[in-house]
Structure 1
Amino acid sequence: MWSSLIAVAGTLLGGALTALLQLRRERAARDERRAEALRGALGELVAALGDHRRALWHRENLVLSGASTEAVEAARAETRATRSAVTSPLVSVSVLEPALAEPARRAALAAFALRDAPDHAELTARREAAITATDALIAAAGRAMAR
């Protein structure tokens, strides 16, 4: 009789251990998929911010330099496209890692702030601030992903 009880207890414990291990494997796989999605969204966001920053700097430089209306309008169309490309990865990063929502928002706003600079010196200062904000986002992402 004892051998039967030991066999049943062993079977139950074995089943519980198997379920626990399966649950841990599933959780680890889910965490890895989330981390991979975050890395992808973060890469897209940093690239989109860089593209927008460059396009907006070019447009504002044209305006400040007195370029033709056609050149400015062409640059304006480009900045609209690059700004639109920021939205999706910005939302993804903010949802996947809430701790990065604020640094990501600050980086986006800093890039958007290049608009309507009063002179070349201010345009350059705003560009540097946008680069610094993007660097801060990358540093925050490194810290968040290291935990």
Structure 2
Amino acid sequence: MDSLVSSVIAVVGTLLGAVVAGLLQHRVSRVDRQEAQDQALRRERLSAVTSLVAALSEHRRAMWVREDLRLSGAPSDAYAEARAQSHTTRAAITAPLTAVKILAPSLSEAAEHAARACYSLRAVADEDVLTARREAAIAASDRLVNAAAALI
């Protein structure tokens, strides 16, 4: 009878050990999977913010050129070319702005503000306003980057 009890205890102990080991392995796998997902999300957020800031920079530059040409009375063909370029750079903002809003909703307000600041370079009254709005757009982009750095 003692050997039967010892055998049952040994079998139960082995089974419990296997169950505990399986549960621990499942937990470790779940934690590893979550860490991998978190890391992937951080990379996606970084990529989206980086793309948006680059697109904002390009649009800001294009708007500066466009408005500078308009204010200086440049030939209409040069202005038309700069205007077409600014339309292209503005369109390039849409995808990364959308990605930031989806991947990092807490950055939506800063991202929108940075985009609107770039758009505000349009139809300015004079060079001083153009310069002030350009500086405000740069500051808005910097605030977006700082908010993203805190999040990521």
The bucket for the TM-score relative to the shorter chain is over 0.9
Does residue 44 of structure 1 match 2:24? no
Does residue 144 of structure 1 match 2:151? yes
Distance 1:42 1:104 in 2: 9
Does residue 99 of structure 1 match 2:114? no
Residue matched to 2:134: 127
Query: C-alpha displacement at 1:6, in angstroms?
Result: 1.0
**Aligned match of 2:79 in 72, 78, 88?**
72
Distance 1:40 1:139 in 2: 15
1:11-53 deviation per Cα after TM superposition (whole angstroms, max 9, x unaligned): 1111111111111111111111111111111111111100000
**Aligned match of 1:9 in 16, 26, 31?**
16
Amino acid of the residue matched to residue 106 of structure 1?
H
1:51-70 deviation per Cα after TM superposition (whole angstroms, max 9, x unaligned): 00000011001111111111
Report the TM-score, using the length of structure 2 for normalisation.
0.93
Does residue 88 of structure 1 match 2:95? yes
Identical columns (%): 41
Distance 1:142 1:133 in 2: 14
1:106-146 deviation per Cα after TM superposition (whole angstroms, max 9, x unaligned): 0000001100101110010000000000000011011111x
Amino acid of the residue matched to residue 62 of structure 1?
L
Distance 2:91 2:31 in 1: 39
What SS is found at the alignment partner of 1:22? helix
Residue matched to 1:22: 29
Gaps in structure 2 of 5+ consecutive residues: 1-7
Gaps in structure 1 of 5+ consecutive residues: none
Residue matched to 2:39: 32
Report the TM-score, using the length of structure 1 for normalisation.
0.96
